[in-house]
Each structure stands twice: as structure tokens, then as C-alpha cells.
Amino acid sequence: MSELSRQRSADPAAVEMLNLAEKEQLETIWDRLEKQQPQCGYGQLGTCCRLCTMGPCRIDPMGEEPTHGVCGASADTIVARNLARMIAVGSSSHSDHGRSAALLLKAVASGENTDYRITDVEKLQAVATRLEVTTENRSYPEIASDIADIALSCFGKQDDTPMPFTEKYLLPKRYQLFKDIEEQLFKTTGKKMGILPRGIDREIVDILHRTHFGTDADPLSLMVQGIRSSIADGWGGSLIATELQDILYGTPTVNTAKANLGVLDAEWVNIIVHGHEPSLSEKVVEMALSEEMQQAARKLGAKGINIVGLCCTGNEMLMRQGVDMAGNVLHSELAIMTGAVEAMVVDVQCIYPSLANLSNCFHTKFITTSEQATIPEALHIQFEDEHADEIARRIVNTAIAAYPERDQGKVYIPNITSSAIAGFSVEEILKTLGGSVAPLIDVIAKGTIKGVVGIVGCNNVKVKQDLYHQELTKKLIERDILVIGTGCWAIGAAKAGLMNLDAQSLAGEGLKAVCQQLGIPPVLNMGSCVDCSRMLVLAGALAAHLDVDICDLPLVGSAPEWMTEKAVAIGTYFVSSGIPTHLWPAPPILGSPEVTKILTEDIKGLLGGYFFIEEGPQAAAQRMEEIILEKRAALGI
């Protein structure tokens, strides 16, 4: 095994594939990172500005000239504007996904779309109750139509009242806190700053507007608007995506699947679904598993069709359908390099453009499907919800047709998988607990479990793949801290065997006993990144049960190995919801003492949550335990 490969990933399957890449001289994302060295220090600190053509400008972090951009913007202004824009982009990605789910639910409810259906009527009723939609003597489509309308109004509403999803789902104490903060900020600064989101589109456009040349230069109001946009995401766009997808495709229930590249099978037609929006992958999975398609594959000499997932689409399919997981985002190139993938089918977000050219080195059809994510050199098959069945059939047929072109001599699949239990929606967690959060609160109050950490986020090629995820997770469960989470972290944990019952043995005595009693692993997969909203809902339920605010609970958030703007939005809505949140790598804010102070110190007094940065898993776990113990002491437990 090459030392270089071992330095790049903690995952043995990835190490095998990196060795192969080295031998075959296939370029990877790790190689391209090296070619980018040294990367721009101003960019890393957040002090470069490209917002007008008088620039680009950069500010010297040591206080030497230049201390201001051409227009006079300070480092604080530049960093705040850049970060607000990151939050806006992250919020827009999750929320546009939520919009698609709302439009689809509306089309299904009206009978315009017959390719999809309302699958989970229990969830439909639960969401209706939450949103105060009348259910009595009404048909499911009528109820669904009202829910979709309310969701859609959260995007385009123009008045200044808080948007309905946020209003109805947010813990009343936190809702009131946000209102109080708005008043307090006005009193102390004389400036109008809003926290409660009026509408998703509006808060995002507001950031684009206020960060235009010569508009908002105040780091505080820029950050407050960033917070507002993130709440529009967490308690809005992402939440809408999760809730409405549960109605359409079913609320996840506990299931067991395999994770890592070994889920690919040399004798089968392998299709990987990658991206985020399950409207596509649900249909591709359904079609691929149909007898008609399986037979078509067998006719060409394959044993059948093996469909597996990657990244968040993978999580969506794992959570609801028990589909095996090929890996997290750093596995996307490596999966193609196995030479055994007939088609990688993608929709939106986290898709490396490099996958197109890499696929061309193999027989793999790299199929883009979204008008928002087309990639030169890819095969584009336009997906449309209203013709979902027909298009999914075309996609699966394209994959089957590629099978005879496979060069079996190029096939190399690492024989590595772990078994993982997934499907921990809030509903499923409550069911496991006997219908209420009370037993969980009870074991937390007794100290059997000290607290809960929610981990989210990506793989970042600057961090050894999965190492931080694995180490931090292990160190937390060792300390009797329950770990829940989503996204590429969840996949990393699944690959490392942390999501099966054997992992109970890695937990501290208290957590182990609870997990043994409930028959669950000490590390729970709550889904894709939009499903971070499930963690908010769970936190809200715990706080409501105790009649406290979320910031009073022994909860911590973390995004180790994060890289996308979506992760910044998630981190910000965790903090805004009252959850202290760890980040590594450091976000591009350190060039501004003021923004750093707002986000790591001042915000604590306002919202209860705050960011902290720790480079190593040991120090991060230690700090998280300290925060949890502090919260426990304040609660008197």
C-alpha cells in the first residue's frame, strides 16, 4: 500500500482505489489539491473581495497596508459580506430542493402528476396538525394540497410576517426569543435587524442585495441577515424538503444495509445514484428493481441490476428503501475507477465536474439529469417529474446497454463493506423509545447518557478522509455521549462500522446499556443534509418536554471535514437554534476580528449557540463534553 494513499484516506477501500489510481495514472481530487498549492491565504482568511471590478482587493491580516479595499471596505465588512453570501448559497440549495418537493406534492394532490403518490398518510396528518390544516372530512389530496400551498407560500410570501413553517415548527420559547432579540437590537443600535424569516426567497435575495457594491457594510447587520437566511433554511427550506418527502416517499424506518465500495458487484449491472433530490433516485431505484429491467439486464449476461447510492441521495435511498451505500463524496471518483459502474446518475449538488472526463476513461455513462446541473462531456437525460417513470426507464435502459461495453480486465472492486443500521427519523426514534422523548430525557437526566452531539457535513480533501469523522464519533460515544447525524459524516460512520450493533462495545458503560436495551447502535443515521431539520425537530421536542429552550439542553453540533456552503448554512442554523457548534476546517472568517468575535462570543449571549473551532478530534471531543457538562450543571442534572 502506498504511504501517500494511506495519508489521504482512513478508509481502507479508498486506500486500495487510490493505489490503483496511482498505478493507472488516473487523476483524483487529491492530486488536483496538490496542484493548487499554495492556496490563497487571503481567501482562507476571507479577506479578499471580488464584488466589483475595482478589485479584486485583499486586506493584509497583520494590519499593514492595504488595510481597506478600493471602496474603503474593511476586513470586517469584506469577511461578513463573503460569509453572508456563503450562507445565502447554502440556504438556497437546500431550499430550492424543498421547493421542488412542494411543487411535486402540489402536482400529485391536484392529480396533475400520477407518477408519484402520497405514500405516508400518517405523516401527512402529522404535518397537517402541525400546520393547523383541517383534516376532518377531507381527502388526503385536499390536505396535501393545503400543505403544499403553505410550503410554497414560505418561498414567495411578500409581507413582513414570519413564514408559516418557521412559525408553526419553531419552539415557542425560541420564537419569542427571536422577537425579543429583534427588539433589543433595534433598541441598542437604532437599526432594524430581523431574525425571524419572512420568506425563503426574500431572505436570500436580501443577502444578495445587501452585499452588492456599496450597500451594507456593517458586520453585525450582515451577520444577523445571515442568521435569518439560515433559519429560513433549517426551519424552512430543509424542513419542507424533509417533511414533504416523507409524505411522498414514506417516513424512514429502521433498516439494515451495507456501506462501502464492496457493495458494487462485478457480475451485475451497477447503477449509482448520486446527488440530493430523491424525486429522481426514488424512480430510478423503483425502475431498476422492476422485473422488466432485471430481466433486460439478465438477457445481456449480467445477474441483474444492482442499484446503490452515494452522498445524500444515497442517504435518502438508504433511509427509506434500505439501498446499499457506495460511499461519501470523496468516493465518487473512486467508485467510477472500479470499472464496474455502468451508470452514475446525478441530480444536483456535490457532483465533481471531474466525474464526466473520468467516466470517459471507462464504459461508465455519467448521466446528468437536472437543468440546474449540466456538465460538459456528460450524457444529459433531462428529468421531469411529470414524466418520471418514462425517463427513469430510459436511464436504467442506458445503464443496461452499457454493460456489454464493460472491460472486465479493468474491473477492481475492493472487497470491503460494513453493515449499518439506518432509518432513524424522529418518528422512528420516538417509536424506539415507546412513543415519547421521556425515556431519553430520563437517561440524560440520570447521566447514563451525558448528552447528544449532532454531526453533519462532508468530506474535505484537505482533511484525511473520514479520519475526523471516525475519531470524533468514537471519542464521543466512549464518553457516554449519543451521536446522531446526517450527510457524508453518516456515510463515513457507516463505513467504519459505527452504525451497527457491534459498535455498542465501543460506547461507554451508560450509553452501551441504553443502546443494548433499545437494540440500537450508539451512532444514529438521521439522513441526508436536508434532514438536519430532523435534528432540529428532535431538539425542539426534547426542549418542549422539559419546558426549556434548545440552548439549555446538553446538545452540541459539529461539522468536521465540512467543505460546502450548505454546511455553513447548517452550522449557522444550529447556532441560531441555540446549539454550540464545532467546525473544522476553520471557516474563512479569521481575517476579521469582529466577525470572529460575533460568531464565537457575542452570539452566545443572544442566541445561546456559538461557533468554536478545534483542529483535532481529541480536543473537540473534550470541549464538547465540557459544554455538555456545563449545560447539565445549569439544568441542575
- Of the two residues 99 and 202, which places its CB atom closer to ligand BF8 in the complex? 99
CB of 329 to ligand BF8, least distance (A): 4
Q: Please, what is the angle between helix 200-210 and helix 219-232, to 10°?
A: 160
CB of 334 to ligand BF8, least distance (A): 14
Query: Closer CB to ligand BF8, residue 393 or residue 566?
Result: 566
- Angle 403-409-411 (CA atoms, 0-180°, nearest 5)? 65
Nearer to ligand BF8 by Cβ, of 85 and 566: the residue is 566
How far is Cα 546 from Cα 454, in angstroms, rounded to an integer?
Answer: 19
Q: Which residues are within 8 A (CB) of 57 and not within 5 positions of it... i.e. 6 or more apart?
A: 48, 49, 66, 69, 70, 73, 78
Smallest gap from residue 556 Cβ to ligand BF8 (A): 18
- Which residues make up the interface to ligand BF8 (CB under 6 A)? 311-312, 328-329, 350, 457-458, 487-488, 528-529, 564, 566-567
Of 493 and 567, which CB lies nearer to ligand BF8 in the complex structure?
A: 567
Q: How far is the CB of 277 from ligand BF8 (least distance, A)?
A: 11
Q: How far is CA 122 from CA 137, 430, 535, 555, 632, in A?
A: 15, 14, 20, 29, 35
- CA angle at residue 364 from 362 to 365, to 5 degrees? 135
Least Cβ distance, residue 266 to ligand BF8 (angstroms): 26
Q: How far is the CB of 14 from ligand BF8 (least distance, A)?
A: 15
What is the closest distance, in whole angstroms, from the C-beta atom of residue 423 to ligand BF8 in the complex? 18
Q: Is 451 helix (H, G, I), strand (E, B) or coil?
A: strand
Contact yes or no for 496/468 (Cβ under 8 A): no
**Cβ–Cβ < 8 Å for 600, 610:** yes
Give the residue with the Cβ less far from ligand BF8, 464 or 566: 566
For the CB of residue 549, give the shortest distance to ligand BF8 in the complex, in Å.
Answer: 27
CA atoms of 483 and 174, how far apart (whole Å): 24
Nearer Cβ to ligand BF8, position 350 or 537?
Answer: 350
Task: Report the residue number, 270 or 328, with the smaller CB distance to ligand BF8.
Answer: 328
Question: Per-residue DSSP letters for 477-509?
Answer: HHTTEEEEEEHHHHHHHHHTTTTSGGGGGGS-H
C-alpha cell at 224: 444577523
Q: Is 269 helix (H, G, I), strand (E, B) or coil?
A: strand
Q: Of 403 and 574, which has the nearer Cβ to ligand BF8?
A: 574
**Judging by DSSP bridges, how do beta strands 481-486 and 269-274 pair with one another?**
unpaired
